[in-house]
Amino acid sequence: MAESLNKYRLGFFTFAMITASIMISLRSLPSQAVTGMNILFYFAITTIGFLLPMTLVLKMFGCAFPVEGGLYAWVKESFGERWGFTAIFIQWMHLIIVSVLLLSFISGAIAYLFAPELSENKIYILAVSLIFFWSATLISMKGLKVSAKISTFCVIIGVFIPAFVIISMAALHIATGHLPQTDLSFTYANIVPDLSSLAALSMIAAFVNPFFGIEASAAHLGDLKDAAKNYLPTLVIGGIFCVLVNILCSLSIATVIPEGNISLVNGLLQALNMLFAEMNAGWMLFVIILMIMFGTVGEINSWILAPARGLTLTARKGSLPPFMQYINENGIPAHTLIIQAVAVTVFCLIFTLIPGVNSAYWVMLALLTHIYLIAYLILMLSAFKSRKRLFEANGYRTMAKKAIFSVMGILGIVTVLFMEFVTFYDPETAPGYELIYAAGMTFGMIVIISVPLITYAIRKPEWKSKD
């Protein structure tokens, strides 16, 4: 079975594109654009407090344990099978929820082309979402080689090109004399939000989410050529492009659409529609939307396999029933992908029951943020637990290097805990319902995190693979 999984070796460029396709998404741009120039503050906080510490932790684990499984394998090294299983289950649940958000984005894009009123129709969104996800699942079963090629093509066509177009057209919009819809001045008052406002601080969820998944491509680390050498550069490339694309594109949206009119689902399409209309080139909207759809499909495609591989590895250790251990002839965990598609279907149904598309989108985004931050907290604590092995594998022999690791690790942990706290507040919640919202988020987190712990506690000895 190990031989089957390693038939195809990922090159540096392909692995970098898989990492980029997971991290860089145009779906989060509208929720960032509504903050105007505060975008710079929020990304400074999340880049320094989260992205840099996480990149260091991933680099050290990648050099020490360049093996298949990524998050699961690394946490298991530090805290054992129970917490390795819990961490990969949380990552898997993140995939389920982020897929719902991505699929609603695709559905909205298609509706925007043919019948804009359908973008608020939950039944339409449900139908299109399920068609896309089940189709992507079937494609993923063809193997890592096919999946990697699709991700590479989609991130170039569907992310980089549309990002360049929206940035260029927004710049042209300003250069031709149009007044920006947001104040672009570089002043403290304009860039820094009201730090005494929980509503302002809770917006940080929209800015840490683009970095979620930076570790997901590590599930394929066992397939990367010269992994110990090539892993860090792929993280750096993904991180840099992610920050640049998100800042420049979200500011581009903010310059052409008034803050109160930005749709969290279709804000990017609103801006493109307006810009193309100015140039009497409305037909271009159809082309760009098709490209954006490719980019979103590529992101879903990259996400589908990453946690599924880790989940199947822990299943073989006895954490899940034998049904989840099956690997098809292409080296793909087919049964896990089927269970995954069923779970996405259930969450898509839940999405349709939440009143209002914008409200549903924000609730899903907040829950996604809460549960995934727990996984990152576990990973960072794992790095401290295994620091001696990480220092040895990475050549950290001087006190200076060890001190840098400690400072960055503590910074990352503090940032994660801070973001967990502030995102319990929903800026869209009506006054008087804040505690109900926080209680709902807490309940959702407890349920999701309890599932792997309970499952591990009731596992049966016969579940463990004999291979």
Query: What digits encode the pLDDT tens for the residues 320-376?
Result: 888 888 888 888 888 999 999 999 998 888 777 766 555 666 676 677 788 888 999
| Rounded CA separation 63/56 (Å) | 11
For Cα atoms 438, 448, 376, give the angle at the middle one, nearest 5 degrees: 85
Q: What is the pLDDT of residue 301?
A: 81
The pLDDT > 90 percentage for the chain reads: 18
Answer whether 26's CB lies under 8 Å from 268's CB.
yes
Q: What is the pLDDT of residue 438?
A: 78
Q: What is the pLDDT of residue 410?
A: 95
Check whether 237 has a pLDDT greater than 80.
Answer: yes
Model confidence over 184-229: pLDDT tens digits? 888 888 898 888 777 777 778 778 888 888 888 887 887 888 887 8
Mean pLDDT of all residues in 96-105: 80
SS3 10: strand
| Rounded CA separation 443/369 (Å) | 14
| 90: CATH | 1.20.1740.10
Check whether 39 has a pLDDT greater than 80.
Answer: yes
Mean pLDDT of all residues in 433-439: 75
| Rounded CA separation 459/1 (Å) | 23
Q: What is the pLDDT of residue 412?
A: 93
Give residue 41's pLDDT band: very low, low, confident or very high (50, 70, 90).
very high
| Rounded CA separation 317/406 (Å) | 32
| Rounded CA separation 423/429 (Å) | 12
Handedness of CA 33, 36, 40, 43 (dihedral sign): negative
Q: What is the pLDDT of residue 173?
A: 84
Beta-bridge partner residues of 10 = 224
Q: What is the pLDDT of residue 380?
A: 93
Which domain range does residue 439 map to? 2-463
Domains held by the chain: number: 1
Helix (H) or strand (E) segment spanning residue 376? helix 357-385
Mean pLDDT of all residues in 432-454: 83
Check whether 432 has a pLDDT greater than 80.
Answer: no
Q: What is the pLDDT of residue 391?
A: 92
Q: What is the pLDDT of residue 3?
A: 41
What rounded mean pLDDT belongs to the chain? 83
- Reported pTM: 0.82
Tokens 């120039």 locate to 37
Phi, psi of 426 (to 5 degrees): -110, 120
Mean pLDDT of all residues in 291-320: 84
As a residue count, the chain comes to 467
Q: What is the pLDDT of residue 211?
A: 86
Check whether 428 has a pLDDT greater than 70.
Answer: no
Answer whether 299's CB lies under 8 Å from 216's CB.
no
On the CB side of 145, how many CA atoms lie within 13 Å of its CA?
Answer: 8
188 CB burial (10 A radius; 0-12, 13-18, 19+): exposed
Q: What is the pLDDT of residue 5?
A: 41
Mean pLDDT of all residues in 250-276: 78
Model confidence over 122-148: pLDDT tens digits? 788 888 888 889 988 988 888 888 888
Give 234-256 as a 3 state SS string: HHHHHHHHHHHHHHHHHHHHHHH
Asked which of 41-45, 223-227, 241-245 is least confident by mean pLDDT, the reply is 223-227
Answer whether 412's CB lies under 8 Å from 337's CB.
no
**Could you tell me how many helices (H) and strands (E) the chain has, helices first?**
21, 0
List, in order, residues 6 or more apart from 395 with CB less than 8 Å away.
none
370-373's contacts with Cβ under 8 Å and 24+ in sequence apart are 370/420, 370/423, 370/424, 370/441, 370/444, 370/445, 371/90, 371/93, 371/94, 371/97, 371/444, 371/445, 371/448, 371/449, 372/90, 372/91, 372/94, 372/212, 373/208, 373/416, 373/419, 373/420
| Rounded CA separation 42/60 (Å) | 26
Q: At what angle do helices 434-457 and 357-385 cross, to 10 degrees?
A: 50
Check whether 155 has a pLDDT greater than 60.
Answer: yes
Answer whether 420's CB lies under 8 Å from 373's CB.
yes
DSSP string for residues in 290-305 = HHHHHHHHHHHHHHHH
Give residue 467's pLDDT band: very low, low, confident or very high (50, 70, 90).
low
List, in order, residues 6 or more apart from 71 with CB less than 8 Å away.
87, 88, 91, 215, 216, 218, 219, 307, 310, 375, 379
Give residue 431's pLDDT band: very low, low, confident or very high (50, 70, 90).
low
- Is the model more confident about 5 or about 18? 18
The pLDDT > 70 percentage for the chain reads: 93
Beta strands in 81-197 (DSSP E): none
Helices (H), 257-333: 267-278, 283-316
**Residue 420 CA: distances (Å) to CA of 196, 376, 442:** 17, 11, 11
Mean pLDDT of all residues in 218-247: 85
- Is the model more confident about 104 or about 360? 104
Mean pLDDT of all residues in 82-86: 92
- Identify which of 3-12, 101-110, 159-168, 302-311 has the greatest average pLDDT: 159-168
